[in-house]
Structure 1
Amino acid sequence: MRLYILGMLFLCVSASAYSQRFADNKLGNGIRYTAKDSSFSTQINVRFQSRYSGLMNLENSNYTDNFLIRRYRIKFKGFLYDPSIQYKIELGLSNRDQGNFYNENNGAANIVLDAVLKWEFREGWELWAGQTKLPGNRERVISSGSMQFTERSELNAFYNLDRDMGLQLHHEHEMNGWIIREIGSISMGEGRNITASNVQGYGYTVRAEVLPFGKFQKKGDYFGGDLMREPKPKLSIGITYDFNDNNNRERGQLGRFLDTHVDISSIYADLMFKYHGFSIMSEYANRRLVNGAAFGQDEFGEQRYFYMGEAFNFSTGYLFKNKFEIAGRYVINRPERIDIAPDSEIVTLNLTKYISGHTLKLQSSASYINNHEEANELLFMCQAEIGF
């Protein structure tokens, strides 16, 4: 299947070369071309992350480690018929890309990450249709290729909304120099690539963002680190509310399917600040059970609890003029009950060398994990982000 996809990609690129000259050919811009009659355009990007990770148990000094391709992605984006009608397709081909989804879907592959059509039907208004990331916490919406750290935080790991299939309405306008954005979404509520009929409820998500000092350069409120070295202070504050009606997955759009249906309410608040190479990002997440039993049985008959609780994440970093960045992060996770997981606190120190922005970079991190009811741990990661 993967060879077929890569073969088709090669044929498309080769065929296009006969009729259209590629434009903006430089690292990070991918391969771009437009049809002669301007009826469509395509940009193709390929990237992967090669990672080493090691975990030490501080109670017994046991050390486990591995090398892996954390992510391998192929992305297509452009317009169809008219520049106001855009599309995005992203495929995840590494084993770890599919990771838990493979187990949670009885061995079914989940190659398609994004397949969404975006229509700007009026200035400042866009309608999205298809499968893509929900407008949840900021850290999740930031691309995995544009992260400030080697990996997203524990807050994101256990509380994010991830991707879903449905409709999203995006609006952006300016008011007295402030940028205000509103997003509303109606989705299946069970996550990506679910083929069974939805006979239960839907997921409803609303998000608002305020940028009091105007827009960031190059959409810098949605990539890690101040790579643009903003000459003036920039701030974005966001808040999201999600209600997942009659859901039967452990974490809403993620986790094992259980035999119990519940209503889940999630709240997220976040901010991003950048100025002269200095950056701050902070998030708060809270997920609660509105209605239904706190647990259910999975496909193996094992009792599992719905993952409820709250978490806080604070990170800051400074990018030097030589493109080295040092960053630190502090995360608190408070699951609702010990049956789910123990409370934890994680402190991470991260070093990044940006060779060509987020497209080509080297990263390393060290994390101290304080598991309140279990042995504490040290986690080490080294990673190369490579793409074009």
Structure 2
Amino acid sequence: MRLLFLSICLFFISFSNAQITINQSKNDNDLKLSALPYYSFGKGLGLTSPDSLFQLNIRFRMQNRVTYIENDGENGAYDGQIRRLRLRFDGYVGNPKFLYAIQLSFAPGDVGEIQEGENLNIIRDAVVFYRPNNHWNISFGQTKLPGNRQRVNSSGGLQLTDRTINNAKFTIDRDFGFQVHNMNEFKDKFSYNFKTAISSGEGRNSTDNPDDGVAVTGKVELFPFGAFSKDGTYFEGDVIREKKPKLMISGAFQQNNHARRTQGQLGNDLFEQRSMKSVLLDAMFKYNGWAAMTSYMSRTTNDNAITVNPLDISESNYAFVGNGFDYQLSYNTKTNYEFIGRYSIQKVGEDIKMFSPNTKQFSLGLTRYIWEHSFKVQGEINYDILDFYDGTSKNNWYLRFQVEIGI
């Protein structure tokens, strides 16, 4: 069955080699907002009022996947699902300097399990912008924070079918608040961006009782050789085939005061609040079909990461502290077949090493770009090594086939 599954994956990737001609308009109405780096190849479906006082642009995308999973000590299993189904609206009202963006999610893996008394997480982005010129973006609402590169990138702009294990544990994700971005990107000379945010620290769609803790985030991005072509910072792989070497180096820091969840903006509830500090470093290089990425992520707390239920001391939960490195290398051929390799290593903090293993992850992928990242077929094999505190280890792996399409 495993060989049959692999054969089907390879068949569909090969089948997608059929020649498809797509004409793209040069009058792209994509907003290109720095806080919302959605990947887009075309214009979407756009409507503008006759008096040009209102614009609405509609986009959708979906990811359909099937996975064969084999975890150590368990029987193998197949999982088929709609991993993501998104609907996005953006545009302006009254004046192109005043913009809005809304993104909704509908797949179970995006929305999360429906539980009594908890919010339904359909809303991913709901944010208004003031953009006085090309150098400044000022926003208010719920959207992604200026965090690590892979999280800031849309999931539609990934080379492999999912982000890394370190992104899953150490990212700072979405939050509600204010952001100010100063953008200074130029084609062939040194460029730089400064991004800041003050947010609630509670994550998306939170309606918990208010407290006096906020999250403060700052990020610097440097481009020694100038900006990437077609906003290439915001998607993985060199699908554009950069004609000159391009490099980005970035660093972000966040302090989330009185966080209530195990991963700051994400995770389950803690029994006591913890203030958390996150450091997020990234580098990206692209040239002539080659692309390389590396990142470092860490989280620490102001106190012991473990929290205990005061009503039942046998019950506890912990903030996920530790650090991790990711390394990713790829080559995209002239026929738009991309070969990707990734290695991740994650080390948990001393406070929680009895509860969570250190992990190594190896991933190999093959992607066929039909319409750049907007229509692609992906195959991936992933192998995890989990090393536990008691000296035992587990080896898990999966094989996955995924199709992504969107406008």
TM-score normalised by the chain length of structure 1: 0.89
Which among 233, 243, 249 is matched to residue 255 of structure 2?
Answer: 243
The change in CA–CA distance for 1:202 and 1:322 in structure 2 (over 3 A counts) is: same
Counterparts of 2:42 and 2:316 in 1: how far apart (Å)? 46
| Preserved CA contact (<8 Å) 2:28 2:42 | no
Q: Which moved more, 1:128-137 or 1:105-114?
A: 105-114
Instruction: Give how far 1:54 is off.
Output: 1.8
The change in CA–CA distance for 1:293 and 1:149 in structure 2 (over 3 A counts) is: closer
Aligned position for 1:12: none
The amino acid across from 1:271 in the alignment is A
Aligned position for 2:7: none
Residue 73 (structure 1) aligned with residue 86 (structure 2)? yes
Superposed CA RMSD in Å reads 2.2
| Preserved CA contact (<8 Å) 1:56 1:63 | yes
Counterparts of 1:92 and 1:72 in 2: how far apart (Å)? 6
| Preserved CA contact (<8 Å) 1:360 1:384 | yes
Q: Which moved more, 1:42-51 or 1:367-376?
A: 367-376
What is the DSSP-based 3-state SS (H/G/I as helix, E as strand, rest coil) of the residue aligned with 2:267?
Answer: coil
Counterparts of 1:370 and 1:310 in 2: how far apart (Å)? 16
Residue 109 (structure 1) aligned with residue 120 (structure 2)? yes
| Preserved CA contact (<8 Å) 1:149 1:350 | yes
What is the DSSP-based 3-state SS (H/G/I as helix, E as strand, rest coil) of the residue aligned with 2:124?
Answer: strand
Which among 152, 157, 162 is matched to residue 168 of structure 2?
Answer: 157
| 1:145-203 deviations in Å (ceiling 9; x for gaps) | 11111111001101111100000000023699211100110000010001234213000
Aligned position for 1:381: 400
Which among 50, 53, 57 is matched to residue 43 of structure 1?
Answer: 57
Aligned position for 2:12: none
Aligned position for 2:47: 33
The amino acid across from 2:299 in the alignment is R
| Preserved CA contact (<8 Å) 2:68 2:398 | yes
Counterparts of 2:303 and 2:42 in 1: how far apart (Å)? 47
Which among 232, 237, 244 is matched to residue 232 of structure 1?
Answer: 244
Residue 143 (structure 1) aligned with residue 154 (structure 2)? yes
| 1:303-349 deviations in Å (ceiling 9; x for gaps) | 11110000110101000011110000000011113234100100100
Which among 254, 278, 287 is matched to residue 290 of structure 2?
Answer: 278
| Preserved CA contact (<8 Å) 2:112 2:121 | no
Can you give the 5+ residue segments of structure 2 that lack an aligned partner in the other structure? 1-26, 30-39
Instruction: Give how far 1:378 is off.
Output: 1.2
Counterparts of 1:146 and 1:40 in 2: how far apart (Å)? 28
The change in CA–CA distance for 1:32 and 1:201 in structure 2 (over 3 A counts) is: same
Instruction: Give how far 1:356 is off.
Output: 0.6
| Preserved CA contact (<8 Å) 1:158 1:251 | yes
Aligned position for 2:22: none
Counterparts of 1:167 and 1:142 in 2: how far apart (Å)? 19
What is the DSSP-based 3-state SS (H/G/I as helix, E as strand, rest coil) of the residue aligned with 1:149?
Answer: coil
Residue 369 (structure 1) aligned with residue 384 (structure 2)? yes
Which among 177, 181, 201 is matched to residue 189 of structure 1?
Answer: 201
| Preserved CA contact (<8 Å) 1:28 1:387 | no
| Preserved CA contact (<8 Å) 2:271 2:317 | no
Instruction: Give how far 1:292 is off.
Output: 5.5
The amino acid across from 2:53 in the alignment is S
Counterparts of 1:99 and 1:293 in 2: how far apart (Å)? 25
| Preserved CA contact (<8 Å) 1:264 1:291 | no
What is the DSSP-based 3-state SS (H/G/I as helix, E as strand, rest coil) of the residue aligned with 1:291?
Answer: coil
Aligned position for 1:294: 306
Aligned position for 2:274: 262
Aligned position for 2:9: none
Which among 339, 344, 357 is matched to residue 331 of structure 1?
Answer: 344
The amino acid across from 1:170 in the alignment is H
TM-score normalised by the chain length of structure 2: 0.85
What is the DSSP-based 3-state SS (H/G/I as helix, E as strand, rest coil) of the residue aligned with 1:274?
Answer: strand
| Preserved CA contact (<8 Å) 1:238 1:269 | yes
Which among 200, 205, 222 is matched to residue 217 of structure 2?
Answer: 205
Instruction: Give how far 1:57 is off.
Output: 2.7
Aligned position for 1:320: 333
Residue 310 (structure 1) aligned with residue 330 (structure 2)? no
Residue 215 (structure 1) aligned with residue 224 (structure 2)? no
The amino acid across from 1:162 in the alignment is D
Instruction: Give how far 1:381 is off.
Output: 1.2
What is the DSSP-based 3-state SS (H/G/I as helix, E as strand, rest coil) of the residue aligned with 2:210?
Answer: coil
Q: Once superposed, which parts of structure 1, at least 4 consecutive aligned residues long, lie more than 3 Å away?
A: 23-28, 296-302
| Preserved CA contact (<8 Å) 2:271 2:316 | no
Counterparts of 1:385 and 1:174 in 2: how far apart (Å)? 30
Counterparts of 2:401 and 2:230 in 1: how far apart (Å)? 27
Counterparts of 1:325 and 1:187 in 2: how far apart (Å)? 38
| 1:202-244 deviations in Å (ceiling 9; x for gaps) | 0000000000111111110110111110000011111000000
Can you give the 5+ residue segments of structure 1 that lack an aligned partner in the other structure? 1-22
The change in CA–CA distance for 1:87 and 1:299 in structure 2 (over 3 A counts) is: farther
Instruction: Give how far 1:262 is off.
Output: 1.2
Counterparts of 2:281 and 2:237 in 1: how far apart (Å)? 19
The change in CA–CA distance for 1:38 and 1:153 in structure 2 (over 3 A counts) is: same
Instruction: Give how far 1:29 is off.
Output: 2.4
Instruction: Give how far 1:299 is off.
Output: 11
| Preserved CA contact (<8 Å) 1:311 1:332 | yes
Which among 336, 348, 351 is matched to residue 366 of structure 2?
Answer: 351
